[in-house]
Amino acid sequence: MDKKLEPTLAKLEKEFGGITSEYRGDASLIIAAENIVATCQQVQGLGFELLSALTAVDYWPRESPRFHVIYQFTSVSVNLVLTLRVPVPGINPSLPTISHLYRNANWRERELWDMFGIKFPGHPDLRRILMPADWEGHPLRKDYPLGYEEPQFTFNFDEINLRKPYAEE
Amino acid sequence: MPDIQEITVDELKHLVSDRAIQGETVLLNMGPQHPSTHGVLRLLLELDGETVVNCIPDIGFLHTGIEKNMEAKTYQKAEVMSDRLDYMNTVGNNLAYSLAVEKLVDLDVPTRAQAIRVILTELTRFQSHLVWLGTSALDLAAMSMFLYCFREREYILDVMEMCSGQRMMTTYIRPGGLWRDVPVEFEAAVRNILKTFPRRVDEYEALLTRNPLMLDRTYGIGKLTSGECLNFGVTGPMLRASGVKWDLRKDRPYSGYEQYDFEVPTRTEGDVYARYLVRLEEMRQALRIVEQALDKLPMGPVRSTNYKYVPPPRSEIGVSMEALIHHFKLWTEGFEAPGGAIYSAVESPRGELGVYLESDGGPKPYRIHWRTPSFDNLQSLPLMSKGVLVADLVAIIGSVDIVLGDVDR
């Protein structure tokens, strides 16, 4: 871990609780969901100007917490990176939005809603972003099956063709 | 099969101004099939005459579920999909993926492989900028630039084909090193590029930099301040054109970039013209890095000999039982990475290309997320395009240098 990061981590730990872990030199801090906006405000104040990534992991079939939402920050001025992990339960998952602090969180939170079904109360425009507006389900959840297309040969071409979801004329 | 719902203006009410509801401004659909959106980007424009009042990007037309697909494949097989993300920076994506896997399993890469990686990614950066220069100049009606840029790009694609057998989807950089060593013709081909290309960049500059039409269309258009850039997560040449000297190759070096001497060009204007100047200078710097890497290209192996993670060379399989077992195990069930999560980022031609990789101890990535630069860069488009003319919007889209495969993943 970078020595310069230690005071930041100590400060965040003291103020918001949370557990620091380290893997291959990357420090990550687990923060409770209710503290995330205050933590992000603090992190932004500490010079982490860039929200590099905002993503989630689904630990299905584990239910509480089912998801971890990962906030990856970069500080351009001090040249540091910091990861925050927020556990989110599987039933009615939701997290407060940080799109008013980091404006690129807008699309990234929409992506999380689209792909994982995590809601962000207070988000200005929480629509699906990558999938069509009428899509059912959230594709990156682990209980969502990976789709595939059946290969068509001459002997079963028509049979498979009937099953294909073509748009109706 | 549910009925297809249509999005109505009512649902987008919170995004357009009140004047659109009253019918004073016009809502116009631009794209997804529009040559100047560089792919399948749809923009819903609210226009007051020729002036853009609001611009609402609609993405996802090229969503291919790459993250989901990669989670279903072993580490070696998943790499093939990384080429298809940002199809202008294929080698760079391979490098980002390989570095992430190497960081996850703690694998060392021989110095020769690192140097060849640098040469190929810098050539890819050059060709990506060539495509950007050609297409964005074409948007400004400079037809001949497009032809010149694609002519030069062929030389670089020839080098890729020589190394990997593929022009674009190379998958040449693998976790632990390279697929194989470069062929003997490689050095001469790269030297030829190094000899001719600096003159070509001068030619582009002569055609565009002081061109009054170019200046009229780009100077002072689509401005972003450095604060706005950082707040929107904008990285790469766009951030540097706004005055922030941030380049991951320099600031968080990887793959041996710290040994090479190169400049990070910056401008302070933050407009379309500044982005053009920054990218053009980056092309020159890319050639500088290639030259240095080629001059001191060390000899030696190009793949790690840790056969738990890296397949042994073909020559060993015939004589070593152990190598055969490793080969068989690696290509059937793959290797088991230790459980953990990492984030590693490289500087792609468009900005910070990051990979979040989490392993649960199995042979497949439990979760892989691609932090693609175009996704964040494109988000600043509504801000940049407030109050510009439609024709300027086209210039702004060109200057963002989006690759829709990169945006939609």
ipTM metric: 0.86
Chain A residues whose beta carbon lies within 8 Å of the beta carbon of residue B233: 50-52, 102-104
Nearest to B103 among A24, A57, A74 (CB): A24
Query: Which H or E element spans position A89?
Result: none
- The C-alpha of A4 sits at a distance from chain B's nearest C-alpha, in angstroms, of 14
**A82 to chain B: closest CA residue:** B343
Chain B residues whose beta carbon lies within 8 Å of the beta carbon of residue A146: 68-69, 72
How do the pLDDT tens digits run along chain B, 409 residues long?
Answer: 445 555 566 677 778 777 777 778 888 888 788 777 777 888 888 888 889 988 888 888 888 889 999 998 999 889 999 988 888 899 999 999 999 999 999 888 999 999 999 999 999 999 999 999 999 888 888 888 899 999 999 999 999 999 998 888 888 999 988 988 899 999 999 999 999 999 999 999 888 888 888 888 888 888 889 988 899 989 999 999 998 999 999 888 998 899 999 999 999 988 999 999 999 999 999 999 999 999 989 998 888 888 888 888 888 888 999 999 999 988 888 888 888 899 999 999 999 999 999 998 889 999 999 999 999 999 999 999 888 998 889 889 989 888 888 888 8
Q: What ranges do the domains of chain B cover?
A: 66-304+336-408
- The C-alpha of A26 sits at a distance from chain B's nearest C-alpha, in angstroms, of 7
- Say whether residue A169 is in contact with chain B using an 8 A CB cutoff: no
Determine the Cα–Cα distance for residues B146 and A51; give it in Å rounded to an integer.
Answer: 35
Residues 6+ away with beta carbon under 8 Å from B59: A129, A130, B41, B42, B378, B404, B407, B408
Residues 6+ away with beta carbon under 8 Å from B384: B222, B223, B224, B396
Chain B residues whose beta carbon lies within 8 Å of the beta carbon of residue A165: 1
Locate the DSSP E strands across chain A.
19-23, 26-30, 50-58, 67-75, 80-88
- Superfamily of chain region A3-163: NADH:ubiquinone oxidoreductase Nqo5 subunit (3.30.460.80)
Determine the Cα–Cα distance for residues A26 and A36; give it in Å rounded to an integer.
Answer: 20
Q: Which of these CATH numbers, 1.10.490.10, 3.40.50.300, 1.10.645.10, 1.20.1250.20, describes B66-304+336-408?
A: 1.10.645.10
Chain A residues whose beta carbon lies within 8 Å of the beta carbon of residue B379: 103-104, 106-107
Determine the Cα–Cα distance for residues B399 and B280; give it in Å rounded to an integer.
Answer: 12
- Asked whether B60 and A130 are in contact (CB, 8 A), the reply is yes
Determine the Cα–Cα distance for residues B276 and B266; give it in Å rounded to an integer.
Answer: 11
- The C-alpha of A155 sits at a distance from chain B's nearest C-alpha, in angstroms, of 26
- The C-alpha of A98 sits at a distance from chain B's nearest C-alpha, in angstroms, of 12
Q: Is B106 within 8 Å of A104 when comparing Cβ atoms?
A: no
Q: Is B104 within 8 Å of A24 when comparing Cβ atoms?
A: yes
